[in-house]
């Protein structure tokens, strides 16, 4: 009978790891459905991006107060869960506070630090809930977040508060049992901890048996909640907790504002300007199968990983001049719709065993022409994104398909294209007449 808790815990751990691995494998498959792109150059600079952007959250510190609050939640999530290692080992081995004897006097100091961080996480999560649901900041009140995305953010914040409260209550019950010299709890006298000790007056009237029950309930709920949170991540915007690191590593290193032109287009323009350079016979290169992107399979795997890494914070949309003037474009919505398209394609692939590019494509069925044409290509969204996402790259590729494959462009654009083709400039003046204004003003 004494091994039953260990067996149950082992089964819970295996199930959590299996489900998480299965979901992550599916997400990886969705990301790799995009076309190949080589982003392996300059590894030293890429690791620097990981340290500054993903771990150090450099871009967040444009607003120091919010950045500090976010860092507390992020640090709490990472650091406090170091304690999960002890919980997991205790659950498997049937021990209690395994690291207490090993770490000696360092152990109480470490748990005290964890508790202070836990209290900060509770306070910051409460502040974030107030910002989202009471103050209703503009970027959180946007229609982009209607439905599941708005609920998702609240679920995560409530979950973190509950996990931290369970952690504190578990420690309070444990230290009270130590002070009473009850059972195996007295084997490691850690003393009272700085924050959980404030719960002692509430718990002190409990019997020792009730305290054991409370401590065990909190222990099981805490670790079960963490496993549940782990398996919730693949369905949540909070997947960026994991994907921010590879996304920062594989960020494009070109200067912002530099647009990646298709070599095939550049080649054709060159041949038009200098026909003598055009190859002949068997040396003529093969034409591309498609210009731009119509669906997720036309985008690169980095574009698709961007969509899964999106935090839905809305900083990109808040900085977008098109959105600020009332136009339909929202860079955040572009990333969310790209992710929705991947998820829908995955469901179709699993249920009907059909190709991911079948059904409703990303262009028009998810992202409208009106959204794409509103973009000014100013790069404000790219500059603001804290995890190096580029909505602009997806917008440009979809817009390129509209113009070059569907011949779909506003009348003003077509006039400009015609002028460039015929007059080598956006204006309707022949090259020989461009200097005539000098004579008119003389």
Instruction: Please check whether residue 77 is in contact with residue 241, taking contact to mean a CB–CB distance below 8 angstroms.
Output: yes
| Phi and psi angles of residue 300, each rounded to the nearest 5 degrees, phi first | -80, 165
**Vertex 325: Cα angle to 322 and 326 (nearest 5):** 95
d(Cα 112, Cα 101) in Å, to the nearest integer?
A: 16
For a pLDDT cut of 90, what percent of the chain falls above it?
43
Extract the residue ranges of the chain whose pLDDT is less than 70: 1-2, 80-81, 280-289, 352-359, 441-442
The SS3 assignment for 429 reads coil
b/e 78-110 (16+ beta carbons within 10 angstroms → b): eebbebeebbbebbeeebbbbbbeeeeeebbeb
**Is 356 within 8 Å of 296 (Cβ atoms)?**
yes
Q: Rounded to the nearest 5 degrees, what angle is found at the Cα of 294, between the Cα atoms of 288 and 300?
A: 70
What integer pLDDT is reported at residue 85 of this predicted model? 85
CATH 1.10.3470 assigned to domain 290-430? The reply is no
Which residue, among 163, 149, 188, has the nearest Cα to 332 in the 3D structure? 149
CB atoms closer than 10 angstroms to residue 352: 10
Q: HSE on the CB side for 399, CA within 13 Å?
A: 20
Q: What are phi and psi of 318, to 5 degrees?
A: -65, -25
The pTM of this model reads 0.84
Specify the DSSP class assigned to residue 357: T
Q: What φ, ψ does residue 17 adopt, rounded to 5°?
A: -65, -40
Residue 35: phi, psi to the nearest 5? -70, 160
Give residue 355's pLDDT: 55
Q: What is the pLDDT of residue 2?
A: 64
- CA distances, 14 to each of 86, 98, 182, 237, 415 (Å): 17, 21, 32, 25, 63
Can you give the residue ranges of every domain in the chain? 4-31+63-249, 290-430
Whole-number pLDDT of residue 392:
94
Residue 326's SS3 state is coil
Query: How high is the pLDDT of residue 283?
Result: 61
Residue 196: φ, ψ to 5°: -65, -20
């Amino acid at each position: 009978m004494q091994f039953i808790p260990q067996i149950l815990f082992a089964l819970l751990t295996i199930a959590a790891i299996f489900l998480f691995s299965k979901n992550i494998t599916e997400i990886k498959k969705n990301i790799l459905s995009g076309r190949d792109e080589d982003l392996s150059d300059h590894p030293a600079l890429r690791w620097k991006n990981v340290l500054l952007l993903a771990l150090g959250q450099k871009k967040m510190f444009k607003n120091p107060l919010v950045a500090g609050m976010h860092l507390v939640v992020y640090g709490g999530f990472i650091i406090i869960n170091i304690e999960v290692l002890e919980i997991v080992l205790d659950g498997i081995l049937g021990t209690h506070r395994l690291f207490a004897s090993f770490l000696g006097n360092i152990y109480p100091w470490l748990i005290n630090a964890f508790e202070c961080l836990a209290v900060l996480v509770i306070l910051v999560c409460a502040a974030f809930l107030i910002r989202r649901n009471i103050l209703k900041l503009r970027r959180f009140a946007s229609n982009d977040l209607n439905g599941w995305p708005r609920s998702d953010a609240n679920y995560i914040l409530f979950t973190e508060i509950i996990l931290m409260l369970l952690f504190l209550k578990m420690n309070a019950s444990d230290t009270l049992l130590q002070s009473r010299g009850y059972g195996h709890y007295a084997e490691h006298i850690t003393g009272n901890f700085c924050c959980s000790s404030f719960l002692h007056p509430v718990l002190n009237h409990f019997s020792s048996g009730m305290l054991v029950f409370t401590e065990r309930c909190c222990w099981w709920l805490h670790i079960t909640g963490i496993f549940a949170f782990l398996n919730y991540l693949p369905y949540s915007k909070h997947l960026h907790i994991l994907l921010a690191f590879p996304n920062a590593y594989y960020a494009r290193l070109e200067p912002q504002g530099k647009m990646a032109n298709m070599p095939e287009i550049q080649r054709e323009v060159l041949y038009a300007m200098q026909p003598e350079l055009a190859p002949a016979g068997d040396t003529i290169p093969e034409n591309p199968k498609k210009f731009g992107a119509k669906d997720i399979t036309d985008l690169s795997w980095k574009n698709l990983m961007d969509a899964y890494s999106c935090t839905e914070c809305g900083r990109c949309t808040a900085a977008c001049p098109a959105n600020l003037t009332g136009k339909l474009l929202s860079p955040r919505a572009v990333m969310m719709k790209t992710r929705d398209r991947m998820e829908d394609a995955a469901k179709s692939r699993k249920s009907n065993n059909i190709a991911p590019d079948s059904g409703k494509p990303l262009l028009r069925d998810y992202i409208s022409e009106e959204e794409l044409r509103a973009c000014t290509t100013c790069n404000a969204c790219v500059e603001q994104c804290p995890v190096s996402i580029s909505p602009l790259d997806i917008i440009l590729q979809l817009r390129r398909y509209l113009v070059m494959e569907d011949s779909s462009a506003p009348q003003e654009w077509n006039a400009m294209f015609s002028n460039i083709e015929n007059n080598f400039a956006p204006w309707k003046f022949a090259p020989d007449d461009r200097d005539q204004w000098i004579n008119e003003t003389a």
